[in-house]
């Protein structure tokens, strides 16, 4: 006997089961209604943050040609650790990856698409060498366009180890860390939401790649990581909010250095 969607299941792995069990079928689409009274909060804040740093207005290079940026985009894994990143450039990277571009009623739209405009992805930073920022972990608030300082210290080596020993993280000027608050998407899409949160993270990372390339930076997306080590560092539970992806960002090392 064959089951819908493929051959009879024979000890399928979790990946195959996930793919099969989150498929859409016309006769399975009904029976779910949006509970507007219990819609999850669209934004996260840390009321007890040590400080909040307002970001400068994002500025962009007028000489950056989109097609040339796409052509030049590469994953860069070697950085010049002695250099620092300016707040102006960091501001441009954050705006490009998660900035608000328009509003419609109570909803805000961003530089990247999101399933249902629900934006479940949260952005954190490990700032190692950013002018004007103390070393530590920061949380980005798109609607306020600021950073919440939530954990002081240089965690770049810890993050490198959490990234399966990829030492580029230890040398990057800043590392972006993306989590998902899963219920923001599950509220509407139920189990299908787990597909969408990864798509959303990919959209964000690509914008970071392009903005970083336009600014002369090197970017490298990192999917290989010890989830619970990063979740613990950020202080999230790994279930309601969990890390998905990270990216190192910094000034490329000179050839031969």
Structure letter (DSSP) for residue 115: G
Residue 42 has what pLDDT?
Answer: 93
Q: pLDDT tens digits for 183-195? A: 999 999 999 999 9
* Residue 25 belongs to a domain: no
Compute the Cα dihedral for 156, 157, 160, 161 and give only its sign.
negative
pTM of the model: 0.93
Q: pLDDT tens digits for 118-138? A: 999 999 999 999 999 999 999
Q: How would DSSP label each residue in 24-73?
A: --GGGS-S----GGGPPPS----TT-SEEEEPPPP---TT--HHHHHHH-
Domain of 103, CATH number, reads 3.40.109.10
Q: How many of the other CB atoms lie within 10 Å of CB of 54?
A: 11
* Residue 201 belongs to a domain: yes
Q: pLDDT tens digits for 137-149? A: 999 999 999 999 9
Which residues, other chains included, contact 201 with Cβ-Cβ below 8 Å and sequence gap of 6+?
A: 121, 178, 180, 244, 245
Mean pLDDT of 73-79: 97
**pLDDT grade, residue 255 (50/70/90)?**
confident
Q: What are residue 116's DSSP bridge partners?
A: none
CA 33 – CA 245 distance, rounded (Å) = 31
CA angle 121, 211, 252 (to 5 degrees): 110
* Residue 56 belongs to a domain: no
Residue 159 is part of which domain span?
A: 63-250
* Residue 15 belongs to a domain: no
Range of lowest pLDDT (18-32, 37-51, 85-99, 159-173): 18-32
- Share of residues in the chain with pLDDT > 70 (%): 96
* Residue 27 belongs to a domain: no
* Residue 68 belongs to a domain: yes
* Residue 112 belongs to a domain: yes
Q: CB of 156 within 8 A of CB of 129? A: no
SS3 content of the chain, % helix, strand, coil (to 5): 35, 25, 40
* Residue 232 belongs to a domain: yes
Q: CB of 164 within 8 A of CB of 73? A: no
- How many structural domains does the chain have? 1
Q: CB of 110 within 8 A of CB of 98? A: yes
Residue 1 has what pLDDT?
Answer: 39
Which residues, other chains included, contact 185 with Cβ-Cβ below 8 Å and sequence gap of 6+?
A: 115, 116, 118, 120, 193, 196, 197, 200
Element (H, E) at 199: helix 193-214
Residue whose C-alpha is closest to residue 153's, from 183, 127, 121, 174 = 127
């Amino acid at each position: 006997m064959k089951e819908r969607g493929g051959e009879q299941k024979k000890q399928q792995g979790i990946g195959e089961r996930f793919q099969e069990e989150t498929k859409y079928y016309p006769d399975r689409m009904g029976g779910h209604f949006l509970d507007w009274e219990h819609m999850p909060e669209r934004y996260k804040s840390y009321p007890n943050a040590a400080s909040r740093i307002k970001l400068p207005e994002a500025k962009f290079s007028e000489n950056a040609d989109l097609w040339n940026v796409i052509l030049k985009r590469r994953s860069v894994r070697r950085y010049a650790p002695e250099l620092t990143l300016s707040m102006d450039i960091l501001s441009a990277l954050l705006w490009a990856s998660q900035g608000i571009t328009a509003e419609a009623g109570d909803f805000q739209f961003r530089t990247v698409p999101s399933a249902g405009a629900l934006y479940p992805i949260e952005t954190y930073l490990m700032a190692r060498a950013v002018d004007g920022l103390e070393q530590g972990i920061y949380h980005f608030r798109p609607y306020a366009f600021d950073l919440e300082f939530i954990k002081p210290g240089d965690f770049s080596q810890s993050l490198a180890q959490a990234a399966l020993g990829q030492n580029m993280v230890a040398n990057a000027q800043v590392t972006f860390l993306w989590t998902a608050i899963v219920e923001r998407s599950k509220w509407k899409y139920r189990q299908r939401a787990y597909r969408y949160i990864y798509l959303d993270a990919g959209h964000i990372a690509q914008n970071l790649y392009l903005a970083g390339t336009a600014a002369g930076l090197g970017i490298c997306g990192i999917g290989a990581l010890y989830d619970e080590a990063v979740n613990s560092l950020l202080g999230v539970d790994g279930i309601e909010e969990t890390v998905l992806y990270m990216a190192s960002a910094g000034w490329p090392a000179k050839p031969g250095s």
